[in-house]
Amino acid sequence: GYVPPSSPGGLNYCQQDYWGYYNANQAATLVPKLFLYPNEPLPERYRLQPIPNYTGTYVPLSSGADRTVNPNAITAGTLYRIIYPTGGNAKIDYEPNQYTDARTNQTFLGGGIRVKTVTLHDGINAANDIVKNYTYSGGVLLNRPQFAVPIPVYIGNDPYNTSGPAGSLTALSEY
């Protein structure tokens, strides 16, 4: 059998997390909530979650969609039971992937699912069930999903730098 979607009216393409998996939100847009930290290094400047206890400047960029992982909805459409012709079955339970944010040292739910347990039932007696539990070490997110990129603003009246040495344009700032 398969896990049915929790949405009775069918799936809406805006009901997805950062990685494109179903999350049952009620959003009308795919634009997520983002946080801008202008004084952070470029890879940390646009963030999906706020940095706890941050004392510098930060700006919530939008009141966009909730694109976080919903552990109760992410398994929609997945295989959860295999029934064998002998009467036995295998039941599969899943959990969301997790990753640790190196900047905040916090663990977040990540894209996709992984097998948590498999229960093998012989079809005769539940006391004979074999349960296999799976554990995973913490994941590392190599690249965050990107929903914003900085655009350099250059100084001077010569955008093609024909008057100075090659490659001498200097970025005034990034937005």
Whether the pTM exceeds 0.85: the reply is: no
Cα–chain-centroid distance for residue 55? 26
pLDDT score of 172 = 43
User: Three-state SS for 135?
Assistant: coil
CA–CA dist 33, 63 (Å, integer): 6
pLDDT score of 62 = 75
pLDDT score of 5 = 63
Intervals of the chain under pLDDT 70: 4-11, 152-175
pLDDT score of 161 = 52
Q: Which residues, listed in sequence order, are joined to residue 152 by a DSSP beta bridge?
A: 174
Distances (CA, A) of 109 to 7, 17, 57, 106, 115: 21, 10, 26, 10, 14
pLDDT score of 160 = 56
The answer to whether 68 and 17 have CB atoms below 8 angstroms apart is yes
For residue 49, the one-letter residue type is Q
CA–CA dist 28, 89 (Å, integer): 40
> Which residues are within 8 A (CB) of 125 and not within 5 positions of it... i.e. 6 or more apart?
none
CA–CA dist 111, 99 (Å, integer): 9
Structure tokens that stand for 126 in this block = 């539940």
pLDDT score of 92 = 97
pLDDT score of 78 = 92
The answer to whether 139 and 99 have CB atoms below 8 angstroms apart is yes
User: Three-state SS for 109?
Assistant: strand
Are β-strands 106-121 and 81-83 bridged in parallel, bridged antiparallel, or unpaired? unpaired
